Amino acid sequence: MSRPLDTGLDQIKTLLLKMGNLVKDSLALSLKGFLEKEDVHVQIKSWSTTLLILSEEVEDRATELIALHQPMAIDLRTLKSYIKIAYDMERYGRYCMDISDIIHRFREWPPYPRDDLRISDLGDKVKDVVDYSLRLIETMDESLIWELSKKEAETDELYVECLSLLADCSDCDTMTIVANLLTIRYLERIADHGSYIAESITYATTGKRITLR
């Protein structure tokens, strides 16, 4: 027989997955906007605000369940993890908004003069990290944690590679360096929050605290 607490937990998970779909749309559109120099800031800002509202709803619902149902240890861990994951989702959206804000504020900058700056590849890897984090929330399958960790490590390597190229680009316009530098930093931070979500899932399912970074 299902407990009212179980129903509440399922409702929170549904909210998190709803946030996840919005995150995927935000990341795809913000990257497209940056790479194609298209101002998509208004839309991304709207989605970011929605993610913030949903994050607060998750926290409110989780707090209410704790207050009303005296959850057991595993349920309490799950609720605490859901609150933290909702914050990570909100940060996903905020960094997507930050990416969209670059073209919105700067409008234009000269193209990077060579073809070795793999920002599009970095974006694809970050999308993979986000996808893994959402699958983790949906399935609670711990085997996905290590796949996510591996992909996040690949994003770190590519981030450092891009960072070095920008630092050594003596013939780059200053605005070009700034725009690209900000973008790769925001992408790297999105991938970090994917690791935080994996850590929260581990805590919820096992009670163990791990660090993937």
How far, CA to CA in Å, does 161 sit from each of 149, 157, 173, 197? 19, 6, 19, 25
Average per-residue pLDDT in the chain? 93
Total domains present in the chain: 1
Write out pLDDT tens, residues 44-58: 999 999 999 999 999
Is the residue at 77 inside a domain? yes
Is the residue at 211 inside a domain? no
Query: What pTM was computed for the model?
Result: 0.93
Burial (Cβ within 10 Å: 0-12, 13-18, ≥19) of residue 9: buried
pLDDT at 64 over 80: yes
* Structure-block tokens of residue 121: 């590849």
Is the residue at 126 inside a domain? yes
Is the residue at 212 inside a domain? no
Is the residue at 78 inside a domain? yes
CATH code of the domain covering residue 29: 1.20.58.220
Q: State the residue range of the domain holding 134.
A: 4-206
pLDDT at 1 over 80: no
Is the residue at 213 inside a domain? no
Is the residue at 140 inside a domain? yes
Is the residue at 129 inside a domain? yes
pLDDT at 210 over 80: no
pLDDT at 213 over 70: no
pLDDT at 170: 85
Element (H, E) at 97: helix 73-106
